[in-house]
Structure 1
Amino acid sequence: MASTVFRSHCKALLNGRTFSLVQRVADGARCKTTIQYANRPDLPSLAYRKLKGKSPGVVFLPGFASTMSGQKAEALEEFCKSLGHSYLRFDYTGCGASEGQMEDSNIGLWKKDVLYVLDELVEGPQILVGSSMGGWLMLLAALARPEKVAALVGISTAADHFVTAFNTLPIEARKEVEERGSWAFPTRYNSEGSYTLSLAFLREAEQHCVLASPIPVTCPVRLIHGLQDEDVSWHVSMQVAERVLSSDVDVVLRKGGRHRLSERADIKLIVYTIDDLIDKLTTLG
Protein backbone atom coordinates (compact mmCIF):
# COMPACT_ATOMS: atom_id res chain seq x y z
CA MET A 1 0.00 0.00 0.00
CA ALA A 2 1.41 3.39 -0.94
CA SER A 3 2.23 5.70 1.97
CA THR A 4 1.94 9.48 1.92
CA VAL A 5 4.96 10.91 3.68
CA PHE A 6 5.19 14.32 5.29
CA ARG A 7 8.62 14.18 6.90
CA SER A 8 11.83 16.15 7.24
CA HIS A 9 14.12 13.28 6.27
CA CYS A 10 15.74 13.18 9.66
CA LYS A 11 18.18 10.50 8.63
CA ALA A 12 19.64 12.71 5.92
CA LEU A 13 19.75 15.75 8.15
CA LEU A 14 21.75 13.79 10.71
CA ASN A 15 24.10 12.51 8.04
CA GLY A 16 26.94 15.03 8.06
CA ARG A 17 28.27 13.91 4.69
CA THR A 18 24.92 14.38 3.02
CA PHE A 19 24.19 17.70 4.69
CA SER A 20 27.55 19.10 3.62
CA LEU A 21 27.05 17.97 0.03
CA VAL A 22 23.54 19.36 -0.15
CA GLN A 23 24.74 22.73 1.10
CA ARG A 24 27.28 22.82 -1.72
CA VAL A 25 24.69 21.84 -4.31
CA ALA A 26 22.07 24.29 -3.07
CA ASP A 27 24.60 27.11 -2.87
CA GLY A 28 25.31 26.78 -6.57
CA ALA A 29 28.42 24.57 -6.76
CA ARG A 30 28.56 23.07 -10.24
CA CYS A 31 30.75 20.61 -12.09
CA LYS A 32 30.69 20.39 -15.87
CA THR A 33 31.08 17.13 -17.72
CA THR A 34 31.86 17.23 -21.42
CA ILE A 35 28.95 17.03 -23.83
CA GLN A 36 29.06 13.85 -25.92
CA TYR A 37 27.01 12.57 -28.85
CA ALA A 38 25.64 9.08 -29.37
CA ASN A 39 25.36 8.33 -33.09
CA ARG A 40 22.45 5.97 -33.64
CA PRO A 41 21.95 4.12 -36.95
CA ASP A 42 18.24 4.82 -37.43
CA LEU A 43 17.63 7.78 -35.13
CA PRO A 44 19.03 11.30 -34.65
CA SER A 45 22.18 11.56 -32.54
CA LEU A 46 21.62 12.03 -28.83
CA ALA A 47 23.50 14.64 -26.79
CA TYR A 48 24.45 13.67 -23.25
CA ARG A 49 26.81 14.35 -20.37
CA LYS A 50 28.14 11.38 -18.44
CA LEU A 51 29.91 11.07 -15.12
CA LYS A 52 31.56 7.73 -14.39
CA GLY A 53 31.27 6.26 -10.93
CA LYS A 54 29.83 3.62 -8.63
CA SER A 55 26.59 1.73 -8.93
CA PRO A 56 23.70 2.33 -8.67
CA GLY A 57 23.94 5.15 -11.19
CA VAL A 58 21.51 8.02 -11.59
CA VAL A 59 19.89 9.07 -14.88
CA PHE A 60 17.98 12.36 -15.13
CA LEU A 61 14.99 12.62 -17.49
CA PRO A 62 13.98 16.24 -18.24
CA GLY A 63 10.45 17.50 -18.73
CA PHE A 64 8.70 18.47 -21.95
CA ALA A 65 10.70 21.02 -23.99
CA SER A 66 13.34 21.07 -21.24
CA THR A 67 17.01 20.18 -21.52
CA MET A 68 19.81 18.58 -19.55
CA SER A 69 21.10 22.05 -18.61
CA GLY A 70 18.37 22.79 -16.08
CA GLN A 71 19.02 23.58 -12.44
CA LYS A 72 17.93 20.19 -11.09
CA ALA A 73 19.93 18.27 -13.70
CA GLU A 74 23.13 20.18 -12.92
CA ALA A 75 22.62 20.00 -9.17
CA LEU A 76 22.26 16.22 -9.31
CA GLU A 77 25.50 15.93 -11.27
CA GLU A 78 27.36 17.79 -8.54
CA PHE A 79 25.76 15.57 -5.92
CA CYS A 80 26.61 12.32 -7.71
CA LYS A 81 30.16 13.49 -8.32
CA SER A 82 30.57 14.19 -4.62
CA LEU A 83 29.29 10.71 -3.73
CA GLY A 84 31.32 8.99 -6.45
CA HIS A 85 28.27 7.54 -8.19
CA SER A 86 27.73 7.52 -11.94
CA TYR A 87 25.33 10.03 -13.45
CA LEU A 88 23.96 10.72 -16.90
CA ARG A 89 21.80 13.56 -18.21
CA PHE A 90 20.72 13.98 -21.81
CA ASP A 91 18.53 15.88 -24.26
CA TYR A 92 15.63 14.14 -25.97
CA THR A 93 15.47 14.00 -29.75
CA GLY A 94 14.59 17.46 -31.07
CA CYS A 95 15.50 19.17 -27.79
CA GLY A 96 18.58 21.06 -26.65
CA ALA A 97 21.80 19.82 -28.25
CA SER A 98 20.35 16.60 -29.67
CA GLU A 99 19.57 16.26 -33.37
CA GLY A 100 16.06 16.09 -34.80
CA GLN A 101 13.05 18.37 -34.79
CA MET A 102 10.77 18.86 -31.82
CA GLU A 103 7.67 18.90 -34.03
CA ASP A 104 8.58 15.49 -35.46
CA SER A 105 9.01 13.88 -32.03
CA ASN A 106 6.52 12.12 -29.79
CA ILE A 107 6.27 10.14 -26.56
CA GLY A 108 7.22 6.89 -28.28
CA LEU A 109 10.39 8.40 -29.77
CA TRP A 110 11.42 9.93 -26.46
CA LYS A 111 10.81 6.57 -24.80
CA LYS A 112 13.25 5.09 -27.34
CA ASP A 113 15.76 7.76 -26.30
CA VAL A 114 15.51 6.66 -22.67
CA LEU A 115 15.81 2.97 -23.56
CA TYR A 116 18.86 3.72 -25.71
CA VAL A 117 20.48 5.42 -22.72
CA LEU A 118 19.77 2.38 -20.53
CA ASP A 119 20.89 -0.12 -23.16
CA GLU A 120 23.98 1.60 -24.54
CA LEU A 121 25.23 4.50 -22.40
CA VAL A 122 25.13 3.31 -18.79
CA GLU A 123 26.23 0.20 -16.94
CA GLY A 124 24.45 -1.58 -14.12
CA PRO A 125 21.23 -0.70 -12.29
CA GLN A 126 20.05 2.90 -12.45
CA ILE A 127 17.90 5.23 -10.38
CA LEU A 128 15.74 7.12 -12.87
CA VAL A 129 14.86 10.66 -11.83
CA GLY A 130 12.05 11.96 -14.03
CA SER A 131 10.85 15.56 -13.98
CA SER A 132 7.29 16.24 -15.19
CA MET A 133 7.00 14.41 -18.56
CA GLY A 134 10.25 12.68 -17.59
CA GLY A 135 8.26 11.06 -14.78
CA TRP A 136 5.93 9.55 -17.37
CA LEU A 137 8.88 8.34 -19.43
CA MET A 138 10.60 6.80 -16.39
CA LEU A 139 7.51 4.64 -15.82
CA LEU A 140 7.53 3.52 -19.46
CA ALA A 141 11.24 2.72 -19.20
CA ALA A 142 10.76 0.74 -15.98
CA LEU A 143 8.07 -1.31 -17.70
CA ALA A 144 10.30 -1.99 -20.72
CA ARG A 145 13.61 -2.56 -18.86
CA PRO A 146 12.78 -3.69 -15.31
CA GLU A 147 16.15 -5.41 -14.95
CA LYS A 148 17.97 -2.12 -15.53
CA VAL A 149 15.90 0.13 -13.28
CA ALA A 150 16.74 -0.02 -9.57
CA ALA A 151 14.39 2.74 -8.39
CA LEU A 152 12.27 5.66 -9.60
CA VAL A 153 12.10 9.24 -8.36
CA GLY A 154 9.30 11.26 -9.90
CA ILE A 155 9.32 15.06 -9.63
CA SER A 156 5.89 16.54 -10.46
CA THR A 157 5.19 13.38 -12.42
CA ALA A 158 3.08 14.13 -15.51
CA ALA A 159 1.90 10.63 -16.41
CA ASP A 160 -0.61 10.65 -19.31
CA HIS A 161 -0.63 14.45 -19.07
CA PHE A 162 -1.22 15.57 -22.66
CA VAL A 163 -3.92 12.97 -23.20
CA THR A 164 -5.68 13.78 -19.94
CA ALA A 165 -5.53 17.53 -20.61
CA PHE A 166 -6.99 17.07 -24.09
CA ASN A 167 -9.77 14.80 -22.90
CA THR A 168 -10.84 17.34 -20.27
CA LEU A 169 -11.40 20.05 -22.90
CA PRO A 170 -15.02 20.89 -23.74
CA ILE A 171 -16.27 18.76 -26.62
CA GLU A 172 -16.45 21.82 -28.91
CA ALA A 173 -12.79 22.61 -28.27
CA ARG A 174 -11.77 19.02 -28.96
CA LYS A 175 -13.66 19.07 -32.26
CA GLU A 176 -11.85 22.26 -33.25
CA VAL A 177 -8.48 20.63 -32.53
CA GLU A 178 -9.44 17.57 -34.55
CA GLU A 179 -10.57 19.70 -37.49
CA ARG A 180 -7.48 21.94 -37.34
CA GLY A 181 -5.08 19.04 -36.75
CA SER A 182 -3.18 20.83 -33.99
CA TRP A 183 -3.61 22.17 -30.47
CA ALA A 184 -2.12 25.31 -28.93
CA PHE A 185 -1.25 23.67 -25.62
CA PRO A 186 -1.06 26.48 -23.01
CA THR A 187 2.16 27.04 -21.07
CA ARG A 188 3.73 29.75 -18.95
CA TYR A 189 7.25 28.67 -19.88
CA ASN A 190 7.72 30.36 -23.25
CA SER A 191 7.04 33.79 -24.69
CA GLU A 192 4.28 32.55 -27.01
CA GLY A 193 2.25 31.20 -24.10
CA SER A 194 1.68 27.86 -25.80
CA TYR A 195 3.27 24.86 -27.50
CA THR A 196 1.80 23.55 -30.73
CA LEU A 197 0.94 19.86 -30.43
CA SER A 198 -0.23 18.01 -33.51
CA LEU A 199 -3.23 15.72 -33.44
CA ALA A 200 -0.83 12.95 -34.47
CA PHE A 201 1.26 13.65 -31.34
CA LEU A 202 -1.83 13.32 -29.14
CA ARG A 203 -2.99 10.13 -30.84
CA GLU A 204 0.47 8.59 -30.50
CA ALA A 205 0.62 9.61 -26.82
CA GLU A 206 -2.60 7.66 -26.19
CA GLN A 207 -0.65 4.47 -26.91
CA HIS A 208 1.60 5.11 -23.91
CA CYS A 209 -0.92 5.95 -21.19
CA VAL A 210 -0.32 4.11 -17.91
CA LEU A 211 -2.94 5.27 -15.41
CA ALA A 212 -5.94 3.29 -16.63
CA SER A 213 -4.76 0.01 -15.12
CA PRO A 214 -2.23 -1.41 -12.62
CA ILE A 215 1.38 -0.54 -13.44
CA PRO A 216 3.60 -3.63 -13.02
CA VAL A 217 6.57 -1.75 -11.59
CA THR A 218 7.97 -3.40 -8.46
CA CYS A 219 11.10 -1.37 -7.66
CA PRO A 220 11.16 1.36 -4.98
CA VAL A 221 9.26 4.47 -6.10
CA ARG A 222 9.50 7.98 -4.64
CA LEU A 223 7.13 10.69 -5.86
CA ILE A 224 7.59 14.37 -4.96
CA HIS A 225 4.90 16.87 -5.90
CA GLY A 226 3.95 20.43 -5.00
CA LEU A 227 0.46 21.26 -3.76
CA GLN A 228 0.73 24.58 -5.62
CA ASP A 229 1.51 22.91 -8.95
CA GLU A 230 -0.66 24.72 -11.52
CA ASP A 231 0.47 22.57 -14.45
CA VAL A 232 0.10 18.98 -13.22
CA SER A 233 -2.10 18.22 -10.24
CA TRP A 234 -0.53 16.43 -7.29
CA HIS A 235 -3.38 13.95 -7.63
CA VAL A 236 -1.48 12.45 -10.58
CA SER A 237 1.35 11.38 -8.27
CA MET A 238 -1.24 9.84 -5.96
CA GLN A 239 -2.70 7.94 -8.91
CA VAL A 240 0.75 6.64 -9.85
CA ALA A 241 1.33 5.55 -6.25
CA GLU A 242 -1.95 3.66 -6.25
CA ARG A 243 -1.36 2.02 -9.65
CA VAL A 244 2.21 0.75 -9.27
CA LEU A 245 2.49 -2.76 -7.85
CA SER A 246 5.54 -1.96 -5.74
CA SER A 247 4.97 -2.06 -1.99
CA ASP A 248 7.85 0.38 -1.45
CA VAL A 249 6.24 3.67 -2.46
CA ASP A 250 6.43 7.09 -0.80
CA VAL A 251 4.64 10.26 -1.86
CA VAL A 252 6.01 13.55 -0.55
CA LEU A 253 3.73 16.57 -0.95
CA ARG A 254 5.29 20.01 -0.58
CA LYS A 255 2.74 22.53 0.65
CA GLY A 256 4.32 25.51 -1.12
CA GLY A 257 5.84 23.58 -4.00
CA ARG A 258 5.18 24.60 -7.60
CA HIS A 259 5.60 22.57 -10.77
CA ARG A 260 9.32 22.92 -11.39
CA LEU A 261 10.37 22.18 -7.78
CA SER A 262 13.70 23.92 -8.37
CA GLU A 263 13.90 26.08 -5.26
CA ARG A 264 16.80 25.50 -2.88
CA ALA A 265 14.66 23.54 -0.41
CA ASP A 266 13.15 21.46 -3.25
CA ILE A 267 16.59 20.44 -4.50
CA LYS A 268 17.62 19.52 -0.96
CA LEU A 269 14.63 17.20 -0.70
CA ILE A 270 15.34 15.59 -4.07
CA VAL A 271 18.97 15.00 -3.11
CA TYR A 272 18.01 13.57 0.30
CA THR A 273 15.58 11.22 -1.43
CA ILE A 274 18.19 9.94 -3.89
CA ASP A 275 20.80 9.57 -1.15
CA ASP A 276 18.38 7.54 0.93
CA LEU A 277 17.64 5.28 -2.04
CA ILE A 278 21.35 4.78 -2.74
CA ASP A 279 21.87 3.73 0.89
CA LYS A 280 18.88 1.39 0.69
CA LEU A 281 19.96 -0.21 -2.57
CA THR A 282 23.59 -0.54 -1.48
CA THR A 283 22.52 -2.21 1.74
CA LEU A 284 20.20 -4.59 -0.10
CA GLY A 285 22.96 -5.33 -2.62
Structure 2
Amino acid sequence: MAATEFLITAKDRRLAYNKSEGHGPTIVFLGGLKSDMEGTKAVHLEDWAQTRGQAFLRFDYSGHGESSEDFTDGCIGDWHEDTIEAVTALTEGPLIVIGSSMGGWQALLLAKRMPERIAGMVTIAAAPDFTEDGYWASFSDEQKAALDSVGHVELPSDYMEPYIITKRMIEDGRQRLVLREVLDLPFPVRFLQGTADTAVSTETAVRLLEHATGPDMRLLLVKDADHRFSDGPCLGLIENAVLEVTGGG
Protein backbone atom coordinates (compact mmCIF):
# COMPACT_ATOMS: atom_id res chain seq x y z
CA MET A 1 0.00 0.00 0.00
CA ALA A 2 1.30 3.45 -0.93
CA ALA A 3 2.49 5.77 1.82
CA THR A 4 0.13 8.50 2.96
CA GLU A 5 0.71 11.88 1.31
CA PHE A 6 -0.52 15.32 2.32
CA LEU A 7 -2.18 18.21 0.52
CA ILE A 8 -2.03 21.74 1.96
CA THR A 9 -5.27 23.59 1.18
CA ALA A 10 -5.85 27.28 0.53
CA LYS A 11 -6.90 27.62 4.20
CA ASP A 12 -3.71 25.86 5.33
CA ARG A 13 -5.43 22.65 6.30
CA ARG A 14 -3.26 19.55 5.87
CA LEU A 15 -5.26 16.76 4.23
CA ALA A 16 -3.99 13.18 4.31
CA TYR A 17 -4.61 11.17 1.16
CA ASN A 18 -3.77 8.02 -0.77
CA LYS A 19 -3.89 8.08 -4.55
CA SER A 20 -3.51 5.13 -6.90
CA GLU A 21 -2.68 5.84 -10.52
CA GLY A 22 -4.54 4.14 -13.34
CA HIS A 23 -7.03 4.66 -16.12
CA GLY A 24 -10.11 6.80 -15.74
CA PRO A 25 -12.63 7.60 -14.69
CA THR A 26 -11.00 8.15 -11.30
CA ILE A 27 -12.92 6.72 -8.35
CA VAL A 28 -13.12 9.17 -5.43
CA PHE A 29 -14.23 7.82 -2.05
CA LEU A 30 -15.89 10.27 0.35
CA GLY A 31 -16.14 8.93 3.88
CA GLY A 32 -18.63 9.52 6.64
CA LEU A 33 -18.73 11.71 9.72
CA LYS A 34 -15.79 10.86 12.01
CA SER A 35 -14.70 8.08 9.64
CA ASP A 36 -11.29 8.01 8.00
CA MET A 37 -9.73 6.77 4.80
CA GLU A 38 -8.52 3.54 6.47
CA GLY A 39 -12.09 2.24 6.78
CA THR A 40 -13.06 -1.14 5.39
CA LYS A 41 -14.98 0.20 2.38
CA ALA A 42 -12.34 2.72 1.33
CA VAL A 43 -9.43 0.27 1.52
CA HIS A 44 -11.35 -2.58 -0.10
CA LEU A 45 -12.50 -0.43 -3.00
CA GLU A 46 -9.00 0.92 -3.52
CA ASP A 47 -7.65 -2.65 -3.75
CA TRP A 48 -10.46 -3.56 -6.12
CA ALA A 49 -9.75 -0.53 -8.33
CA GLN A 50 -6.06 -1.39 -8.42
CA THR A 51 -6.83 -4.89 -9.71
CA ARG A 52 -8.78 -3.20 -12.52
CA GLY A 53 -6.00 -0.70 -13.19
CA GLN A 54 -8.37 2.15 -12.35
CA ALA A 55 -7.30 5.40 -10.65
CA PHE A 56 -8.54 5.83 -7.07
CA LEU A 57 -8.43 8.61 -4.47
CA ARG A 58 -9.30 8.42 -0.77
CA PHE A 59 -8.58 11.16 1.75
CA ASP A 60 -9.32 12.40 5.25
CA TYR A 61 -11.36 15.56 5.70
CA SER A 62 -9.88 18.07 8.11
CA GLY A 63 -10.49 16.97 11.70
CA HIS A 64 -10.59 13.33 10.56
CA GLY A 65 -7.96 10.59 10.48
CA GLU A 66 -4.45 11.84 9.80
CA SER A 67 -5.50 15.29 8.58
CA SER A 68 -4.95 18.47 10.58
CA GLU A 69 -7.51 20.39 12.68
CA ASP A 70 -9.92 19.22 15.39
CA PHE A 71 -13.18 17.52 14.51
CA THR A 72 -15.17 19.80 16.80
CA ASP A 73 -13.96 22.85 14.85
CA GLY A 74 -15.25 21.51 11.53
CA CYS A 75 -18.56 21.62 9.69
CA ILE A 76 -20.17 20.45 6.46
CA GLY A 77 -18.90 23.50 4.58
CA ASP A 78 -15.30 22.94 5.68
CA TRP A 79 -15.42 19.32 4.52
CA HIS A 80 -17.02 20.42 1.25
CA GLU A 81 -14.07 22.80 0.74
CA ASP A 82 -11.69 19.94 1.51
CA THR A 83 -13.43 17.76 -1.08
CA ILE A 84 -13.29 20.43 -3.76
CA GLU A 85 -9.60 21.06 -3.12
CA ALA A 86 -8.68 17.36 -3.06
CA VAL A 87 -10.56 16.62 -6.28
CA THR A 88 -9.22 19.70 -8.05
CA ALA A 89 -5.59 19.22 -7.03
CA LEU A 90 -5.32 15.44 -7.17
CA THR A 91 -7.53 14.25 -10.04
CA GLU A 92 -8.06 14.95 -13.71
CA GLY A 93 -10.90 14.11 -16.04
CA PRO A 94 -14.13 12.25 -15.28
CA LEU A 95 -14.90 10.96 -11.78
CA ILE A 96 -16.89 8.14 -10.25
CA VAL A 97 -17.84 9.47 -6.82
CA ILE A 98 -18.65 7.08 -3.96
CA GLY A 99 -20.13 8.76 -0.88
CA SER A 100 -20.76 6.96 2.40
CA SER A 101 -23.18 8.44 4.96
CA MET A 102 -22.12 12.08 5.42
CA GLY A 103 -19.94 11.44 2.36
CA GLY A 104 -23.18 10.95 0.45
CA TRP A 105 -24.14 14.53 1.30
CA GLN A 106 -20.64 15.61 0.27
CA ALA A 107 -21.04 13.74 -3.03
CA LEU A 108 -24.28 15.62 -3.73
CA LEU A 109 -22.66 18.95 -2.88
CA LEU A 110 -19.80 18.07 -5.21
CA ALA A 111 -22.33 17.30 -7.96
CA LYS A 112 -23.89 20.72 -7.51
CA ARG A 113 -20.47 22.38 -7.66
CA MET A 114 -18.91 20.53 -10.61
CA PRO A 115 -21.45 18.28 -12.38
CA GLU A 116 -19.37 18.35 -15.54
CA ARG A 117 -16.63 16.31 -13.83
CA ILE A 118 -18.85 13.49 -12.59
CA ALA A 119 -19.42 10.45 -14.80
CA GLY A 120 -21.32 8.44 -12.18
CA MET A 121 -22.18 8.31 -8.49
CA VAL A 122 -22.76 5.63 -5.86
CA THR A 123 -23.97 6.50 -2.36
CA ILE A 124 -24.04 4.19 0.65
CA ALA A 125 -26.52 5.15 3.38
CA ALA A 126 -26.43 8.73 2.12
CA ALA A 127 -27.26 11.26 4.83
CA PRO A 128 -28.13 14.54 3.11
CA ASP A 129 -29.27 17.40 5.37
CA PHE A 130 -28.78 15.28 8.51
CA THR A 131 -27.71 18.24 10.65
CA GLU A 132 -31.17 19.76 10.13
CA ASP A 133 -33.49 16.79 9.61
CA GLY A 134 -31.71 14.42 11.97
CA TYR A 135 -29.99 16.40 14.71
CA TRP A 136 -31.87 19.71 14.95
CA ALA A 137 -35.28 18.16 14.35
CA SER A 138 -34.75 15.68 17.20
CA PHE A 139 -33.13 18.05 19.71
CA SER A 140 -35.06 18.76 22.88
CA ASP A 141 -35.57 22.34 24.06
CA GLU A 142 -32.77 21.72 26.57
CA GLN A 143 -30.37 20.60 23.83
CA LYS A 144 -31.23 23.58 21.66
CA ALA A 145 -30.61 25.85 24.65
CA ALA A 146 -27.27 24.11 25.26
CA LEU A 147 -26.16 24.95 21.72
CA ASP A 148 -26.57 28.61 22.58
CA SER A 149 -25.17 28.48 26.11
CA VAL A 150 -22.39 25.89 25.77
CA GLY A 151 -21.91 25.83 22.00
CA HIS A 152 -22.37 22.08 21.55
CA VAL A 153 -24.28 18.96 22.55
CA GLU A 154 -23.02 15.38 22.92
CA LEU A 155 -24.89 12.61 21.13
CA PRO A 156 -24.45 8.84 21.50
CA SER A 157 -23.64 6.68 18.47
CA ASP A 158 -24.37 3.02 17.79
CA TYR A 159 -21.15 2.79 15.79
CA MET A 160 -18.42 4.73 17.66
CA GLU A 161 -17.80 7.11 20.54
CA PRO A 162 -20.32 9.95 21.10
CA TYR A 163 -20.51 12.79 18.61
CA ILE A 164 -19.90 16.36 19.71
CA ILE A 165 -22.32 18.43 17.63
CA THR A 166 -21.55 22.15 17.62
CA LYS A 167 -23.71 25.17 17.00
CA ARG A 168 -21.45 26.00 14.07
CA MET A 169 -22.11 22.60 12.46
CA ILE A 170 -25.87 23.08 12.74
CA GLU A 171 -25.83 26.65 11.43
CA ASP A 172 -23.42 25.87 8.59
CA GLY A 173 -25.44 22.78 7.63
CA ARG A 174 -28.43 25.03 6.98
CA GLN A 175 -26.42 26.73 4.24
CA ARG A 176 -25.68 23.38 2.54
CA LEU A 177 -29.08 21.69 2.41
CA VAL A 178 -29.74 19.77 -0.82
CA LEU A 179 -33.29 18.46 -0.32
CA ARG A 180 -34.95 21.90 -0.32
CA GLU A 181 -34.17 22.92 -3.90
CA VAL A 182 -33.63 21.35 -7.30
CA LEU A 183 -31.06 18.53 -7.16
CA ASP A 184 -30.17 17.49 -10.68
CA LEU A 185 -27.87 14.51 -11.08
CA PRO A 186 -27.27 14.26 -14.85
CA PHE A 187 -25.32 10.99 -14.73
CA PRO A 188 -25.93 7.39 -13.61
CA VAL A 189 -26.60 7.16 -9.86
CA ARG A 190 -27.03 4.19 -7.53
CA PHE A 191 -28.23 4.75 -3.95
CA LEU A 192 -27.52 1.79 -1.62
CA GLN A 193 -29.29 1.51 1.74
CA GLY A 194 -29.53 -1.17 4.44
CA THR A 195 -32.89 -1.76 6.11
CA ALA A 196 -31.24 -2.39 9.52
CA ASP A 197 -29.41 0.96 9.45
CA THR A 198 -30.06 2.79 12.75
CA ALA A 199 -28.23 5.96 11.66
CA VAL A 200 -29.94 6.65 8.32
CA SER A 201 -33.51 5.53 7.68
CA THR A 202 -34.93 3.94 4.56
CA GLU A 203 -37.31 6.92 4.51
CA THR A 204 -34.32 9.20 4.00
CA ALA A 205 -33.14 7.07 1.08
CA VAL A 206 -36.58 7.12 -0.54
CA ARG A 207 -36.87 10.87 0.00
CA LEU A 208 -33.55 11.41 -1.77
CA LEU A 209 -34.58 9.19 -4.68
CA GLU A 210 -37.90 10.99 -5.07
CA HIS A 211 -36.40 14.47 -4.73
CA ALA A 212 -33.42 14.20 -7.08
CA THR A 213 -33.79 14.29 -10.85
CA GLY A 214 -31.66 12.47 -13.39
CA PRO A 215 -31.75 10.11 -16.37
CA ASP A 216 -30.54 6.92 -14.64
CA MET A 217 -31.20 6.70 -10.93
CA ARG A 218 -31.95 3.64 -8.76
CA LEU A 219 -32.26 2.82 -5.08
CA LEU A 220 -31.26 -0.63 -3.79
CA LEU A 221 -32.60 -1.57 -0.35
CA VAL A 222 -30.65 -4.41 1.25
CA LYS A 223 -32.53 -6.47 3.83
CA ASP A 224 -30.84 -6.50 7.28
CA ALA A 225 -27.72 -4.56 6.17
CA ASP A 226 -26.62 -2.02 8.78
CA HIS A 227 -25.02 1.40 8.49
CA ARG A 228 -21.51 0.04 8.03
CA PHE A 229 -22.55 -1.78 4.83
CA SER A 230 -19.12 -3.41 4.81
CA ASP A 231 -19.50 -7.18 4.96
CA GLY A 232 -18.57 -9.29 1.95
CA PRO A 233 -21.95 -9.26 0.19
CA CYS A 234 -22.37 -5.50 0.73
CA LEU A 235 -18.89 -4.78 -0.64
CA GLY A 236 -19.81 -6.83 -3.68
CA LEU A 237 -22.95 -4.74 -4.15
CA ILE A 238 -20.87 -1.56 -4.06
CA GLU A 239 -18.52 -2.98 -6.68
CA ASN A 240 -21.47 -3.89 -8.90
CA ALA A 241 -22.95 -0.42 -8.50
CA VAL A 242 -19.66 1.18 -9.51
CA LEU A 243 -19.55 -1.03 -12.61
CA GLU A 244 -23.12 -0.05 -13.48
CA VAL A 245 -22.52 3.69 -13.28
CA THR A 246 -19.26 3.29 -15.19
CA GLY A 247 -21.08 1.60 -18.03
CA GLY A 248 -20.37 -2.01 -17.18
CA GLY A 249 -16.68 -1.73 -16.38
**Residue equivalent to 2:199:** 231
Is 1:167 the counterpart of 2:137 in the alignment?
A: yes
**Residue equivalent to 1:150:** 119
**Residue equivalent to 2:224:** 256
CA contact (8 A) 2:119 2:246 kept: no
Query: Residue by residue, what CA displacement relative to the aligned partner does 1:175-205 show, whole Å, maximum 9, x if unpaired?
Result: 34333321112212334xx211111211111
Q: Distance in 1 between matches of 2:184 and 2:244?
A: 23
**Residue equivalent to 1:240:** 208
Is 1:184 the counterpart of 2:162 in the alignment?
A: no
Residues 71-220 of structure 1 aligned to structure 2 (within 5 Å) = 71-165=40-134, 166-191=136-161, 194-220=162-188
| Deviation, structure 1 residue 172 | 4.6
Q: Distance in 2 between matches of 1:175 and 1:101?
A: 24
**Residue equivalent to 2:12:** 43
Q: Distance in 2 between matches of 1:43 and 1:241?
A: 36
Q: Distance in 2 between matches of 1:272 and 1:151?
A: 13
**Residue equivalent to 1:29:** none
Query: Residue by residue, what CA displacement relative to the aligned partner does 1:219-243 show, whole Å, maximum 9, x if unpaired?
Result: 2111000111111112112111112
Cα distance change, pair 181–40 in 1 and its aligned pair in 2 (3 A): closer
Q: Distance in 2 between matches of 1:85 and 1:277?
A: 14
Percent of pairs with identical residues = 31
Q: Structure 1: where are the runs of 5+ without partners?
A: 1-31
Query: Residue by residue, what CA displacement relative to the aligned partner does 1:13-55 show, whole Å, maximum 9, x if unpaired?
Result: xxxxxxxxxxxxxxxxxxx122111122423111100001111
CA contact (8 A) 2:158 2:198 kept: no
Which shifted more, 76-85 or 161-170?
161-170
**Residue equivalent to 2:235:** 267
TM-score, length of structure 2 as denominator length: 0.95
Higher Cα Rg: structure 1 or 2? 1
CA contact (8 A) 2:143 2:153 kept: no
TM-score, length of structure 1 as denominator length: 0.83
- Alignment: residue pair count: 248
Q: Distance in 2 between matches of 1:116 and 1:277?
A: 24
> Which segments of structure 1 move beyond 4 Å, counting only runs of 4 or more?
none
**Residue equivalent to 2:23:** 54
Q: Distance in 1 between matches of 2:145 and 2:68?
A: 33
Cα distance change, pair 153–214 in 1 and its aligned pair in 2 (3 A): same
